[in-house]
Chains A and B, each alone.
Chain A
């Protein structure tokens, strides 16, 4: 009977769990790590980025995002949208082609891979024959032209990937007709570029590596013209009017060639214009060249590279020339690719924006506004413009604070273009976020960035820099961006990626924001704690630093780490936004390991590896200093030799930077085999090394002599029953690495005497956990078992006041177990062991509220826990029982696990690369993910119309053809979409037979 009832309760509980918890990796925020390819569809208005890890990401209007991942763990080398379709083709560096489509499903679009294909040559042919180097989706949307390393051009029907052998353009066919006097006719090398004539889709130009370009007629299956360039070819561009071909070359030159008439009188064609724009001395290759006409006036000429090798060979530049304006845009990292967006219907208008994908960011330049300002990106923002050192999430920001932060941020963004975001494809169907959430990231350079994390786009709101408070190693007047007048090339720095920190001591380690009062506290690497206040006006402050000696007379100490930061003594003008109110510096200046702020009591508590202290930022004095150092702990005493390390590191970085810039940007396909061999050899060596020295782990109980037992891991303010069960008092709780909890009773004067009467702190309790595992969190639960509300939350009527009648409980979260103690008399009540049972340890823990997805008014508080195995658990409160667990992060991804932050509503963020946050949710109710729809463009318009000056005769002819075939084609596409699997297998069979 009892068992039966219990069974019923259990199934009921299971049902509630299903209503509350659900794990979803919702989306990725930030900039893709190691992008390797860029694509753009003018008709869909979508941008596609492929990465070295095989991911493909599509972006349209803000909120319109898609992501796909290739099964192969190979880099995406090229991305091409198919004309007039919601589909694209990717080329990976394993030479496989993949077809992706955006398919509508339940009113939303999904990115799906619908086919894959690998070129197979005749038996016995070397793999280079079919190694794809150039891809051209034909404007008909039916053909894909694949240029290979062997110099052949294969023609494949899409989307089914059916090889059209009879139309292939073999190297022999081309070589036979090459003029006798052409210097490189013996070896034309690989196909470097394929371009279609914008006005005549039957004509394509094939650019061979050796320099020769051949205009080929797809209908007549013959070469109509040969362009005998002799420099190694880098790229080809066919101008919109179809009259000229531009070629760029490895010696930093570009040439313009006239395209002859249809009759193909070859001898007339000559190199019309040749130029080495940054000439005289040897230049680097121009890797891509684009020329775009304007309605009136001269065209835009854009090209990447071509810098003088010796003096500016390490710059990553795109040169834009329009009329008299000539600017060499100097980017922060290697240029992957670029394209230009044109205005107007069918993108037939003026060039409006230049979109450049560099290795670390996406930069969009407004070409229609004077001075070509940068347009701020609403997504793909480089989170890592300085390395992220910590993050902090604040849910449900009050509107007032939100608006003030935005206002402060707007004043920082005046240098951006006023133009709206030019990439507008797709519809964002996601409903407005239910609340305003802020994600704060601390960075190595001492900045704190505020991101709007409410919705799909992680949008930058405001940037706070703490370095103005200190004297740093570099002179602020030494502005890198200053360009000298008359410099040649005319450089202009663009982009915000700047990984080089002036002083590693500035790095932000802990952040705490009170959303009700607007007080912010940040703490850094050199033991500095700043309390800041939001001020809407610019103001001048003289910052006085208060030094706190955390050693408290501890003997035998020698700090060998970095020194304290020097504080500026003269008044500093701070712009509107968060302005410093108080500064505390720890002595020894060890990194701050715990920080909390109580805005109602106006207290800030902070801890390092030596101890902790409480500072009253109203009266500006210390309330409490406690040394937690174990006298035998030499490591903690001496501190890390971080300064030395950082110099080494920065040296290494700069060498790497130089080396990277010297490595040729292209020709990846040439030495693929060598690279592979190299990698294999390295892997083998690593494996051998591993076998020689097996990894050993010491099994030892923790003792009080272990290093860093005194390191303060967590600090917590609570208004609870510390001394007796009838009076609640303010209290501070501190947990150390050695499993020790200290509790202090705080005596606060009444509000009217708050400014003059001193605050006192009195030790109340000490708990030494038997298992001595580091304490990661402390929470006080009220009489209902709910966590105490945040300071001022009740005052703002945003939370139910805590139950002060029932007995409070103390939840201590150590790396190994969760333990609930009674209060005020501390005795263990319940516990949940984690490590002893499954060997995982708690890395992060946070209290969250989970709402049921079935009934609006039901919800529970729970503890979200991330372990060192990368699993997320939900632990019930106050019963400390495991509810659910999911695998979230790879256990090897240590930095991902370390970067995880939880929100108060059951979501979380962690870094999947230095520049990307993964957003996940454990809640059924709170889930932010893209909901968007992209509709395939109407295919009624002939392809030629999106380039002006069409050859009227041919276009008219093709119009007729297309219109009649329209329905047919659509049907066919639909059919092949459905049958893609079959076709795919057919292709394989066919290829194998061939």
Chain B
């Protein structure tokens, strides 16, 4: 994902990066050559007020799980769920929660590796740049630091929130740069699996169009507001007063505000909006002849430690799933192949029988309730019909849950927001 995000031309990539305000921090770190100093890493770990010091073989075979258990043993906290973090060379507090970032942490030890342990249910550990220095002051800004050199880093003291790696996924991309006019931008928002609100509002407005016979005023739809912390704001690709031209490839000209709203909500799981940005300074230049179709200038909160789950445009494999195949045959076209739009179906063998008699008003019906509590009590469904195409989504959901429970059934992970199914 990271590599796919690297733009081919320098200029374009710089612009894209400047706009995206996405961190490439970890990318750079990955590129730093390993310093082979010692065979052993000194580790100083802190849990609440207790410190432990121990050493670890630098190129030992251990993975994250092993290390996690080691930490629990060392601190004598075997039953407690904790989150591990480490301080990297820049003084940033970064998480350790899988093999990749564990190895990264080990390799960056110079030679001391400072580990900070927090209880999961306690105050959440805030990862981010400068977080070790700033933690006491309390930071919670979600601003993203522009990428680039250390100079920009020192100039811009605004710290950067770094999510836990399981949250890492592509959330947005600029697509079709090569076929759109320079002044337009097509942005794909991947709402899928992200619990951030899309977070924007639209309004009616007047758009100026240059016509052969002069400038003409036509009604248009504009972004009126971005919600702080919402997906739209986080991507940095949409701004207030950007004019909305298309929604998932459909021209919105002549459509009412309510119609555009409904179209966007209907496509909210995979929203592609073509906008004419109010600020035309950050436009992506179209690439030359060597343009590849698909994602050009993909921007996301890419993390080096992210799992291999890819959420790029639908893979050919998923397109071959029987539903869409039959659908496209039936419709005689193949305009949309959104595999995200798959419903959750619980078949009868997973539903507890309804205790129907005697039926009274105070009937004990908790077998039938949808509350999360009763779901646990319910026998796990044997057949959850999930077509192949959302295999990826299920993986993602698993990944989305607590890593320690990653192996639990998909049923459980799907209950995340209190209802049976949230795909």
Q: Which of A631, A697, A763 contacts B351 (CB 8 A)?
A: A763
A839 and B266 alpha carbons, distance in the complex (Å): 8
A624 and B368 alpha carbons, distance in the complex (Å): 11
Name the A residues within 8 Å of B421 (CB-CB).
768
A628 and B368 alpha carbons, distance in the complex (Å): 10
Once the chains bind, are B368 and A626 in contact (CB under 8 Å)? Answer: yes
How far is the CB of A733 from the nearest CB of chain B, in Å?
Answer: 13
Name the B residues within 8 Å of A701 (CB-CB).
191, 197-198, 265, 268-269
Q: Which of B201, B341, B354, B361 contacts A697 (CB 8 A)?
A: B201
Q: Which of A743-769 contact B (CB under 8 A)?
A: 744-745, 758-769
Q: Which of A548, A695, A770 contacts B203 (CB 8 A)?
A: A695
Name the B residues within 8 Å of A343 (CB-CB).
none
The 4 A-B residue pairs whose C-beta atoms are closest, nearest first, are A839-B259, A701-B268, A835-B266, A704-B419
Encode B202-218 as 1/0 by CB contact (under 8 A) with A: 11110000000000000
Binding site for A on B (CB under 8 A): 191, 197-205, 224-225, 247-248, 250, 252, 255-269, 271, 323, 326-327, 330-331, 336, 340-348, 351-354, 356-357, 359, 361-366, 368-371, 385, 387, 417-423
Name the A residues within 8 Å of B258 (CB-CB).
697, 839, 868
A549 and B370 alpha carbons, distance in the complex (Å): 17
Name the A residues within 8 Å of B248 (CB-CB).
836
Once the chains bind, are A763 and B352 in contact (CB under 8 Å)? Answer: yes
Once the chains bind, are B266 and A769 in contact (CB under 8 Å)? Answer: no
Given A696-B201, A826-B345, list of 4 further CB < 8 A pairs? Answer: A587-B361, A704-B422, A768-B344, A827-B345
Once the chains bind, are A829 and B354 in contact (CB under 8 Å)? Answer: no
Once the chains bind, are B356 and A624 in contact (CB under 8 Å)? Answer: yes
Encode A95-125 as 1/0 by CB contact (under 8 A) with B: 0000000000000000000000000000000
Once the chains bind, are A549 and B263 in contact (CB under 8 Å)? Answer: no
Once the chains bind, are A816 and B266 in contact (CB under 8 Å)? Answer: yes
Q: Which of A823-844 contact B (CB under 8 A)?
A: 825-833, 835-841
CB<8 Å pairs between A and B, sample of 23: A552-B369, A553-B366, A554-B369, A694-B224, A700-B198, A700-B199, A701-B268, A703-B422, A704-B419, A723-B348, A760-B357, A763-B352, A765-B351, A768-B419, A768-B423, A769-B343, A771-B266, A771-B269, A827-B387, A829-B326, A833-B266, A838-B250, A839-B252
Name the A residues within 8 Å of B255 (CB-CB).
838-839
Once the chains bind, are B250 and A621 in contact (CB under 8 Å)? Answer: no
How far is the CB of A122 from the nearest CB of chain B, in Å?
Answer: 43
**Contacts A696-B202, A699-B201 given: A770-B363 contact, CB under 8 Å?**
no
Is residue A543 contacting chain B, with contact meaning CB distance below 8 A?
no
Q: Which of A695, A722, A879, A881 contacts B257 (CB 8 A)?
A: A695
Once the chains bind, are A744 and B417 in contact (CB under 8 Å)? Answer: no
Is residue A435 contacting chain B, with contact meaning CB distance below 8 A?
no
Once the chains bind, are B351 and A764 in contact (CB under 8 Å)? Answer: yes
How far is the CB of A532 from the nearest CB of chain B, in Å?
Answer: 23
Name the A residues within 8 Å of B371 (CB-CB).
631
Measured CB to CB, the nearest residue on chain B to A548 is B361
Name the A residues within 8 Å of B199 (CB-CB).
700
Most chain B C-beta atoms within 10 Å of own C-beta, residue among A554, A819, A826, A839: A839
A769 and B203 alpha carbons, distance in the complex (Å): 29
Once the chains bind, are B361 and A549 in contact (CB under 8 Å)? Answer: yes
Once the chains bind, are A745 and B261 in contact (CB under 8 Å)? Answer: no
Once the chains bind, are B265 and A699 in contact (CB under 8 Å)? Answer: yes
Is residue A419 contacting chain B, with contact meaning CB distance below 8 A?
no
Measured CB to CB, the nearest residue on chain A to B326 is A829
Once the chains bind, are A765 and B347 in contact (CB under 8 Å)? Answer: yes
Q: Which of B259, B343, B362 contacts A828 (CB 8 A)?
A: B343
A825 and B346 alpha carbons, distance in the complex (Å): 10
Measured CB to CB, the nearest residue on chain B to A704 is B419
Once the chains bind, are B202 and A697 in contact (CB under 8 Å)? Answer: yes
**Contacts A626-B365, A626-B368, A840-B259 given: A830-B330 contact, CB under 8 Å?**
yes
Once the chains bind, are A766 and B265 in contact (CB under 8 Å)? Answer: no
Is residue A625 contacting chain B, with contact meaning CB distance below 8 A?
yes
**Contacts A699-B202, A760-B354, A768-B421 given: A624-B359 contact, CB under 8 Å?**
yes
Once the chains bind, are A623 and B356 in contact (CB under 8 Å)? Answer: yes
A835 and B265 alpha carbons, distance in the complex (Å): 9
Q: Which of B336, B341, B348 contacts A770 (CB 8 A)?
A: B341
A831 and B328 alpha carbons, distance in the complex (Å): 10
Name the A residues within 8 Å of B326 (CB-CB).
829-830
Measured CB to CB, the nearest residue on chain B to A764 is B348
A868 and B265 alpha carbons, distance in the complex (Å): 15
**Contacts A699-B198, A701-B269, A723-B348 given: A768-B420 contact, CB under 8 Å?**
yes
A contact residues, range: 35 or more
Is residue A632 contacting chain B, with contact meaning CB distance below 8 A?
yes
Name the B residues within 8 Å of A881 (CB-CB).
330-331
Once the chains bind, are B262 and A839 in contact (CB under 8 Å)? Answer: yes
Encode A779-805 as 1/0 by CB contact (under 8 A) with B: 000000000000000000000000000
Once the chains bind, are A838 and B261 in contact (CB under 8 Å)? Answer: no
How far is the CB of A793 from the nearest CB of chain B, in Å?
Answer: 28
Name the A residues within 8 Å of B353 (CB-CB).
762-763
Is residue A860 contacting chain B, with contact meaning CB distance below 8 A?
no
Name the B residues within 8 Å of A761 (CB-CB).
354, 356
Once the chains bind, are A833 and B356 in contact (CB under 8 Å)? Answer: no
Once the chains bind, are A553 and B365 in contact (CB under 8 Å)? Answer: yes
**Contacts A768-B344, A770-B343, A881-B331 given: A623-B359 contact, CB under 8 Å?**
yes
A705 and B263 alpha carbons, distance in the complex (Å): 20
A680 and B271 alpha carbons, distance in the complex (Å): 43
Q: Which of A653-703 contact B (CB under 8 A)?
A: 694-703
**Contacts A695-B203, A695-B204, A827-B387 given: A549-B362 contact, CB under 8 Å?**
yes
How far is the CB of A777 from the nearest CB of chain B, in Å?
Answer: 16
Name the A residues within 8 Å of B197 (CB-CB).
700-701
Once the chains bind, are B267 and A836 in contact (CB under 8 Å)? Answer: yes
How far is the CB of A368 from the nearest CB of chain B, in Å?
Answer: 57
How far is the CB of B267 from the nearest CB of chain A, in Å?
Answer: 5
Is residue A175 contacting chain B, with contact meaning CB distance below 8 A?
no
Once the chains bind, are A770 and B342 in contact (CB under 8 Å)? Answer: yes
Measured CB to CB, the nearest residue on chain A to B342 is A770
Name the B residues within 8 Å of A587 (CB-CB).
361
A835 and B255 alpha carbons, distance in the complex (Å): 12
Is residue A276 contacting chain B, with contact meaning CB distance below 8 A?
no
A711 and B341 alpha carbons, distance in the complex (Å): 23
Measured CB to CB, the nearest residue on chain B to A710 is B370
How far is the CB of B114 from the nearest CB of chain A, in Å?
Answer: 40
A446 and B345 alpha carbons, distance in the complex (Å): 40
Name the B residues within 8 Å of A759 (CB-CB).
356
Measured CB to CB, the nearest residue on chain A to B221 is A697
Name the B residues within 8 Å of A236 (CB-CB).
none
Q: Which of A554, A773, A825 contacts B266 (CB 8 A)?
A: A773
Is residue A622 contacting chain B, with contact meaning CB distance below 8 A?
yes
Name the A residues within 8 Å of B201 (CB-CB).
696-699
Encode A693-727 as 1/0 by CB contact (under 8 A) with B: 01111111111110000000000000000110000
A835 and B362 alpha carbons, distance in the complex (Å): 41
How far is the CB of B327 from the nearest CB of chain A, in Å?
Answer: 6
A828 and B346 alpha carbons, distance in the complex (Å): 13
A766 and B205 alpha carbons, distance in the complex (Å): 43
Is residue A630 contacting chain B, with contact meaning CB distance below 8 A?
yes
Name the A residues within 8 Å of B202 (CB-CB).
696-697, 699
Name the A residues within 8 Å of B352 (CB-CB).
763
Most chain B C-beta atoms within 10 Å of own C-beta, residue among A552, A554, A587: A552
Name the B residues within 8 Å of A768 (CB-CB).
343-345, 419-421, 423
A764 and B348 alpha carbons, distance in the complex (Å): 4
Once the chains bind, are B269 and A765 in contact (CB under 8 Å)? Answer: no
Is residue A627 contacting chain B, with contact meaning CB distance below 8 A?
yes
Most chain B C-beta atoms within 10 Å of own C-beta, residue among A696, A767, A840: A696
Name the B residues within 8 Å of A891 (CB-CB).
256
How far is the CB of A202 from the nearest CB of chain B, in Å?
Answer: 61
A881 and B366 alpha carbons, distance in the complex (Å): 41
Name the A residues within 8 Å of B366 (CB-CB).
552-553
Encode A544-562 as 1/0 by CB contact (under 8 A) with B: 0001110011100000000
